[in-house]
Amino acid sequence: MRKRIPFFLTLALLPVLFPSLHAGEPATWRLEFDNDLFIGSDNGISAGASLQWQSAAAPDWGSLRNASRLQRGIGRLLAIPRSGGWVCRTGLAVSQLMQTPNDLTRSDLIREDVPYAGALTVRAGWYAYRDEAFRGFELTLGVVGPLSLAEGSQKAIHRLLHLVRPKGWDNQLGNELLLNLDLAGKRKIWRAGDRSGASCDLALGGDLALGSLFTLAAAGLELRAGHNLPGGFVPLPDPVGFSMLQAAVLDPARPGAASIRGFVVLRGLALARMLFLDGNTFRASHSVERRPFAAVIAAGLNIEFRRWGAGFYLLSSTPLAKGDLAPGAETRVSLAGLHLTLRI
């Protein structure tokens, strides 16, 4: 019988098989899959997936490669810093997110639990950064309701994994267009160690989102620690609306060596609207009572090589819904995610 190579030994051999990072940040593709099945749950915000593209980094908006004239023009209009050591990037992402109540076997409307809901979005972002600071803007367009295709996605996954078939999608939120705007800013406030070896840094950041998907204000701390740590900031996980998508990364101190980094992010949220709890914007729909404040913590580990990287994360929030929900109803967001990054 052939012996299997232990997983951690495989990780140890990866720097030998793929010895160097790419010098400079080329265009980046990232595929991310988020699901609460990884942590033994299957309700509340239960799954998401996204395909993300970030342009090659450039010293100003006019020099962006692989970006359209429209993308470069919008970058100039936004007046995000483009000189004095700032690096510019723009990005696009297609994302899907879904939510289900606890009891998937019921076909009736479960008024004492969160509604069935799905969102399909296209997100466009523009951001500028250096190692000390980050500023960005993101536009989200999409649909909620049957047009999001969330019902078919969840049923296909459950069929593939031989899980309970969800029977209540006829009660999902109705079709509506989505529009959201997001402003984000960050600044490093502390660092320690030698970036060519072991080091860590801490950043303070905030987001302001306005729209039919999420309307919120957020502030928090982002801690990074690792070996041969790249400059820049944490690329946060995707769950639509909780953060801006970005790849604010600079070359590590040793571009020819692998980079391993872990992160912990703690954010406080002031919520004025959350579609998946408040229901449809322009029509009557099922909803549950939402809390005005919440906290989110995320932690993860990334490993980066010359042309590709991989990682995982865990995310959890304090309860977002209040009131007497059904026993077992998920009142908080609890997700785990896996992602693969390719540089071309």
Average pLDDT over residues 112-130: 94
- State how many domains the chain has: 1
Establish if 327 belongs to a structural domain: yes
Establish if 173 belongs to a structural domain: yes
pLDDT at residue 336 in the model: 86
Distance between CA atoms of 326 and 222, rounded to whole angstroms? Answer: 35
pLDDT at residue 13 in the model: 41
Could you tell me if 234 and 222 are in contact, meaning their C-beta atoms sit under 8 angstroms apart?
yes
Q: 38 or 186, which is more confident?
A: 186
The CATH number assigned to the domain holding 230 equals 2.40.128.140
pLDDT at residue 305 in the model: 86
Hey, what's the torsion of the CAs at 103, 105, 108, 114, to 10 degrees? 20
Average pLDDT over residues 247-269: 91
pLDDT at residue 18 in the model: 39
Establish if 73 belongs to a structural domain: yes
Instruction: Tell me the C-alpha to C-alpha distance, in Å, between residue 282 and each of 21, 83, 223, 337.
Output: 49, 43, 40, 32
Distance between CA atoms of 35 and 314, rounded to whole angstroms? Answer: 10
Phi/psi at 152 (5° precision): -65, -35
Nearest to 239 by CA among 289, 274, 263: 274
Among the ranges given (45-54, 171-180, 278-287), the one the predictor scored with the smallest mean pLDDT: 45-54
Establish if 2 belongs to a structural domain: no
pLDDT above 70 for 19: no
**pLDDT tens digits, one per residue of 293-314:** 999 999 999 999 878 999 999 9
Average pLDDT over residues 271-293: 93
Could you tell me if 215 and 221 are in contact, meaning their C-beta atoms sit under 8 angstroms apart?
no
Distance between CA atoms of 149 and 264, rounded to whole angstroms? Answer: 32
Establish if 328 belongs to a structural domain: yes
3 state SS of 251: coil
pLDDT at residue 23 in the model: 44
The secondary structure of residue 25, as a DSSP letter, is: -
Establish if 110 belongs to a structural domain: yes
Could you tell me if 262 and 301 are in contact, meaning their C-beta atoms sit under 8 angstroms apart?
yes
Distance between CA atoms of 142 and 214, rounded to whole angstroms? Answer: 12
Distance between CA atoms of 112 and 139, rounded to whole angstroms? Answer: 33
64-103 in b/e form (b: 16+ CB < 10 A) is beebeeebbebbeebebebeeebbbbbbbbebbbbbbbbb
Tokens standing for residue 227 = 């070996």
Establish if 189 belongs to a structural domain: yes
The range of the structural domain enclosing residue 105 comes to: 7-21+28-343
pLDDT at residue 36 in the model: 66
CA dihedral over 72, 73, 78, 83, signed as positive or negative? positive
The secondary structure of residue 5, as a DSSP letter, is: P
Could you tell me if 43 and 330 are in contact, meaning their C-beta atoms sit under 8 angstroms apart?
yes
Would you give the distance in Å from CA 248 to the centre of its chain? Answer: 14
Ranges of beta strands (E only) in the chain are 28-35, 44-54, 87-100, 117-129, 133-144, 176-193, 198-211, 214-227, 231-232, 249-250, 259-274, 293-304, 308-317, 334-343
pLDDT bucket at 21, cuts 50 / 70 / 90 = very low
Establish if 1 belongs to a structural domain: no
